[in-house]
């Protein structure tokens, strides 16, 4: 766990807090504690009502990181910091359409990984199920973006990642965040109906780390756009659903192979920087 630091040397635009890729790490430990406490408290509370559908608890609990980010930002940066964080949803000044096209790439790699399943198992595509899933894909994408995963991004990328990147390298930051993000999901293995239930925990952790690295590249390339990483998150989850419909299995190993390949490509293209530019260091005073 990264400890709070009074000031951090940054390598990004410090004039506009809504478009920085790095921020001082103050409040980072408090954020993680709150995010886990809120989410885990709500998820485990579902066990107190065994006859109820646990999905409302799962959805409400998923807002833990977003809630924690607002609370800690308000405490450390006041109303101005909260406003800057929400302005990260604005598409202005992000480099045009390219960041949003890049945001779709991880989901495409998830879909392509379905071909591994065909080649290795000799299975067939369920055309009827896939067609039905494709028809509902826009609705699924919107639902995921709002309450099915995309809502987490205000916390993970909007708050945690820029602060981690002020302490360690972009790659190390995303690996660390990926492990934390995967562990945050731990209670969901005990709740039937979640996508985590029944999945291999080691493979899931490695897969989440690769997803985090890919999404970190999107974050940096888009100058800290929450909209771009929400699109990436929703695209990944939607693509995973399409894979299940087409092949009857999410194919975690196939997805891990595909996402590892994507991460290697991103690291090679960006020379290990994950789209983080090398700039003269400047110090951003805390507010």
What CA–CA distance (Å, rounded) separates 200 from 206?
A: 10
The domain of 123 spans 11-276
Stated pTM of the model: 0.90
Residue 278, SS3 per DSSP: coil
> What is the arithmetic mean of pLDDT over 169-192?
97
Give tens-digit pLDDT for 135-155: 999 999 999 999 999 999 999
Q: Residue 4 corresponds to which tokens in the numbers above? A: 């709070």
In a domain, 281, yes or no: no
What angle is formed at CA 220 by the lines to CA 235 and CA 177, rounded to 5 degrees? 75
In a domain, 216, yes or no: yes
What CA–CA distance (Å, rounded) separates 22 from 207?
A: 25
Rounded to the nearest angstrom, the gap between the alpha carbon of residue 67 and the centroid of all alpha carbons in its chain is 15
Residue 153 is predicted with a pLDDT of: 98
Percent above pLDDT 90 for the chain: 78
Lowest mean pLDDT among 91-95, 220-224, 249-253, 281-285: 281-285
> What is the arithmetic mean of pLDDT over 95-115?
94
In a domain, 211, yes or no: yes
In a domain, 52, yes or no: yes
In a domain, 99, yes or no: yes
Give tens-digit pLDDT for 67-103: 999 999 999 999 999 999 999 999 999 999 999 999 9
In a domain, 146, yes or no: yes
Our count of domains for the chain comes to 1
In a domain, 284, yes or no: no
Whether 255 has a pLDDT exceeding 60, the answer reads: yes
> What is the arithmetic mean of pLDDT over 5-16?
45
Which has the closest alpha carbon to 9: 23, 19, 20?
A: 23
Q: Residue 215 corresponds to which tokens in the numbers above? A: 């999404």
In a domain, 72, yes or no: yes
Which has the closest alpha carbon to 170: 205, 218, 206, 207?
A: 218
Whether 176 has a pLDDT exceeding 60, the answer reads: yes
């Amino acid at each position: 766990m990264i400890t709070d630091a009074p000031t951090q040397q940054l390598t990004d635009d410090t004039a506009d807090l809504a478009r920085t890729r790095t921020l001082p790490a103050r409040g980072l430990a408090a954020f993680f504690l709150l995010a886990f406490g809120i989410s885990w408290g709500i998820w485990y509370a579902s066990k107190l009502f065994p006859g109820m559908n646990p999905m409302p608890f799962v959805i409400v609990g998923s807002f833990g990181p977003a809630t924690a980010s607002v609370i800690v930002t308000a405490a450390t940066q006041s109303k101005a910091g909260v406003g800057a964080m929400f302005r990260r949803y604005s598409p202005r000044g992000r480099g045009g359409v390219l960041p949003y096209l890049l945001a779709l790439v991880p989901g495409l790699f998830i879909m392509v990984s379905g071909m591994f399943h065909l080649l290795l198992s000799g299975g067939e595509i369920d055309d009827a199920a896939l067609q039905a899933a494709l028809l509902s894909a826009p609705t699924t994408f919107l639902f995921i973006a709002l309450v099915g995963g995309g809502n987490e991004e205000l916390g993970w990328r909007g708050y945690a990642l820029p602060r981690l990147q002020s302490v360690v390298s972009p790659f190390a930051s995303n690996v660390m965040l990926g492990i934390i993000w995967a562990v945050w999901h731990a209670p969901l293995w005990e709740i039937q109906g979640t996508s985590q239930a029944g999945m291999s925990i080691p493979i899931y952790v490695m897969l989440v780390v690769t997803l985090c690295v890919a999404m970190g590249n999107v974050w940096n390339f888009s100058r800290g756009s929450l909209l771009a990483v929400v699109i990436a998150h929703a695209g990944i989850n939607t693509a995973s659903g399409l894979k299940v419909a087409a092949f009857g299995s999410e194919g975690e190993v196939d997805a891990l192979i595909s996402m590892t390949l994507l991460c290697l490509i991103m690291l090679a293209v960006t020379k290990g920087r994950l789209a983080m530019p090398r700039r003269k260091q400047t110090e951003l005073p805390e507010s």
